[in-house]
Amino acid sequence: MLDAKFMRENQDLVRQALENRHANWNLDLFNELDEKRRMFISQEESLQAKRNAASKQIGALMGQGKRDEAEAAKEEVRKINEQLDEISKQRDEADGALRDLMLRIPNIPDASVPVGADENDNPEIRRWGIPREFDFEYKAHWDLGPELGIMDFERGTKLAGSRFYLLGGAGARLERALINFMADTHGKRGYKEWWCPALANANTLTGTAQLPKFEEDLFKTTDGLYLIPTAEVQLTNIHSGEVLDASQLPLKYCAFTPCFRSEAGAAGRDTRGIIRVHQFSKVEMVKITTPETGFDELEGMVADAENILQLLGLPYRVICLCTGDMGFSSAKTYDLEVWLPCYQGYKEISSCSCCTDFQARRANIKYKDPDKFKGTRYVYTLNGSGLAVGRTMAAIVENYQQADGTIKVPDVLVPYMGGMTVIGKQD
Catalytic annotation, pick one of 21, 163, 362, 391: 391
Residue 171 in contact with residue 426, Cβ under 8 Å? Answer: yes
**Residue 279: how many CB atoms within 10 A of its CB?**
16
Cα–Cα distances (Å) from 242 to 115, 128, 297, 363, 376, in that order, read 35, 40, 21, 9, 11
Catalytic annotation, pick one of 163, 173, 261, 361: 261
Range 191-201 burial, b when 16+ CB lie within 10 A, else e: beebebeeebe
The answer to whether 351 is a known catalytic residue is yes
The answer to whether 216 is a known catalytic residue is no
The answer to whether 391 is a known catalytic residue is yes
Separation between Cα atoms, residue 396 and residue 337, nearest integer Å: 14
Catalytic annotation, pick one of 351, 361, 385, 398: 351
Cα–Cα distances (Å) from 262 to 16, 326, 327, 368, 387, in that order, read 32, 20, 17, 39, 20
The answer to whether 261 is a known catalytic residue is yes
Find the helix or strand (DSSP H, E) in which 46 lies: helix 27-63
Separation between Cα atoms, residue 171 and residue 402, nearest integer Å: 16
Find the helix or strand (DSSP H, E) in which 51 lies: helix 27-63
Cα–Cα distances (Å) from 100 to 200, 211, 219, 369, in that order, read 20, 11, 22, 31
Catalytic annotation, pick one of 132, 276, 317, 377: 276
Catalytic annotation, pick one of 88, 93, 348, 377: 348
Q: Looking at the annotation, which residues are catalytic?
A: 261, 276, 348, 351, 391
